[in-house]
């Protein structure tokens, strides 16, 4: 079923459910498995309560809810210019190289050298929720896509930023320094664990992850590297706002 063509509720399955799960990734969040279970119901309920202001959320994604999700996307846009790789060699999102190749032959996603075709859509929708839940901060992307060429230019070998990660920066107020920045980022991480079902570190599979403060003291690194391969297929990645929003008419 096309997204927007039917009401979505507990027990239904399909590509439209998967799309809903992607769009609500930052509202507790579940996996884009296309099955509307308790986790998806909680996502919808949280969105209805927190964004739509409903005192009696139904957990059913009706036409009003789907249109509200579109409005939410418009309100919290994503600047893809900030996300593009700065190597000067690729189109901003890698060259599709190194699929199935791993750093040091360590066959785990953390070492996968593949230059994914864009940024994971669930991650960017989750960032939108982060901005919504933390209105006291002014966020920007301090790092987005970093392809293999960019890694070589900066003498690094990390692979997360080949489409699976972004770094968020919260602007400092006058008089604030590194100490205040570190405290701020720790609080932000704690809030994302609470509202978005993110984890600090990578202990659990299929959970959005935040680097701990000893690794990322003054920025917020958000990634999906703990996802299984089926949730990291090329179709989950995007290179533009149009592809991220995947806007379709809501017919219900």
Instruction: Single out the residue of 47, 89, 43, 45 nearest to residue 71, CA to CA.
Output: 47
pLDDT higher than 90, residue 1? no
pLDDT of residue 157: 87
pLDDT higher than 90, residue 29? no
Answer yes or no: are the C-beta atoms of 43 and 32 closer than 8 Å. no
CATH topology for 80-238? Muramoyl-pentapeptide Carboxypeptidase; domain 2 (3.30.1380)
Q: What is the pLDDT of residues 171-200, one digit of tens each?
A: 999 999 999 999 999 999 999 999 999 999
* Sequence-distant (≥ 6) Cβ neighbours of residue 84 within 8 angstroms: 92, 93, 144, 145
pLDDT of residue 104: 86
pLDDT higher than 80, residue 60? yes
pLDDT of residue 18: 98
Sheet strand arrangement including 199-200: 139-143, 165-170, 220-223, 209-210, 199-200
The CATH number for 15-75, chosen from 1.10.101, 1.10.30, 1.10.3470, 1.20.120, is 1.10.101
pLDDT higher than 90, residue 150? yes
15-75 shares its CATH topology with 80-238 = no
- What are the residue ranges spanned by the domains of the chain? 15-75, 80-238
- CA-based angle 69:8:163, to the nearest 5? 55
Pair of tokens at residue 48:
């209805």
Percent of the chain predicted with pLDDT > 90: 95
pLDDT of residue 106: 86
pLDDT of residue 105: 77
- CA-based angle 227:107:116, to the nearest 5? 55
């Amino acid at each position: 079923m096309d997204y927007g063509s039917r009401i979505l509720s507990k027990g239904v399955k399909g590509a439209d459910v998967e799309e809903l799960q992607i769009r609500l990734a930052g509202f507790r969040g579940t996996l884009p498995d296309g099955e509307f279970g308790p986790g998806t119901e909680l996502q919808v309920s949280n969105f209805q309560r927190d964004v739509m202001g409903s005192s009696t959320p139904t957990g059913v994604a009706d036409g009003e809810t789907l249109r509200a999700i579109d409005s939410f996307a418009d309100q919290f846009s994503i600047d893809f210019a900030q996300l593009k790789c700065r190597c000067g060699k690729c189109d901003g999102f890698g060259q599709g190289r190194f699929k199935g190749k791993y750093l040091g032959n360590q066959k785990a996603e953390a070492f996968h050298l593949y230059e994914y075709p864009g940024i994971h859509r669930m991650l960017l929708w989750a960032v939108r929720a982060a901005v919504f839940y933390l209105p006291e901060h002014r966020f920007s992307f301090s790092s987005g896509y970093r392809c293999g060429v960019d890694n070589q230019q900066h003498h690094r070998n990390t692979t997360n930023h080949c489409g699976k990660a972004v770094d968020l920066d919260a602007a400092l107020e006058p008089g604030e320094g590194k100490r205040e920045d570190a405290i701020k980022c720790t609080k932000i991480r704690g809030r994302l664990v609470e509202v978005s079902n993110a984890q600090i570190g990578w202990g659990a599979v299929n959970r959005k992850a935040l680097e701990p403060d000893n690794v990322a003291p003054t920025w917020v690194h958000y990634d999906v590297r703990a996802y299984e391969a089926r949730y990291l297929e090329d179709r989950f990645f995007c290179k533009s706002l149009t592809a991220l929003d995947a806007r379709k008419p809501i017919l219900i």
